[in-house]
């Protein structure tokens, strides 16, 4: 069943933890280390509030044991893949090839965080320098939701939960981050 909307809300006990509602399923998730924010700024460690389209799924073909599927466009991550997070650069908040002349985040990581990631349409139409970059739905750090660490501003799920969601997502699905 394709989902029209994923809804993310903060948990009451910890600003960097929340829940993601997908139809009748509820998944624990990690949020920005500093919680949520309406006016996103680069480097604030906060997850932006708003409704975001799902742009692309990136995945590590070498680290997943079985093929994954989604109607959201899918791309395998290459070792050279990066994402520009330098507000002074023309490619800010866009994919780039590494090495890159400006500051850019590496998508090919040694940990599991970017084994699967969904690019959210945050600050991309149009891109506004300094209003946030590389906001993804990705794999959470830690397997136990009670020990999830806050993100740099992304929403993060356990890997098996993210993989479970992918077949139910389409380019029409949005991720809505709400405050209580």
Catalytic residues: 138, 154
Query: 145: left (phi > 0), else alpha (psi -120 to 50), else beta?
Result: alpha
Q: Element (H or E) spanning 161, and its range?
A: helix 159-165
Tell me the C-alpha distance between 58 and 27, whole Å: 21
* Residue positions counted in the chain: 180
User: Whose structure tokens read 């290459």?
Assistant: 78
User: Whose structure tokens read 């800010």?
Assistant: 92
């Amino acid at each position: 069943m394709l989902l029209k909307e994923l809804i993310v809300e903060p948990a009451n006990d910890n600003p960097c933890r929340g829940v993601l509602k997908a139809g009748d399923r509820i998944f624990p998730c990690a949020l920005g280390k500093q919680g949520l924010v309406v006016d996103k700024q680069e480097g604030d460690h906060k997850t932006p509030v708003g409704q975001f389209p799902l742009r692309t799924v990136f995945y590590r073909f070498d680290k997943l044991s079985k093929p994954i599927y989604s109607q959201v466009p899918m791309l395998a991550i290459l070792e050279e893949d990066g994402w520009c997070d330098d507000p002074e650069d023309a490619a800010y908040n866009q994919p780039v090839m590494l090495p890159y002349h400006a500051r850019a985040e590496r998508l090919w990581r040694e940990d599991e965080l970017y084994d699967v990631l969904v690019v959210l349409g945050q600050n991309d139409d149009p891109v506004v320098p300094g209003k946030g970059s590389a906001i993804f739905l990705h794999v959470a750090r830690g397997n136990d939701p009670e020990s999830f660490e806050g993100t740099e501003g992304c929403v993060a799920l356990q890997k098996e939960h993210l993989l479970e969601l992918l077949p139910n997502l389409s380019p029409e699905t949005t991720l809505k981050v709400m405050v209580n």
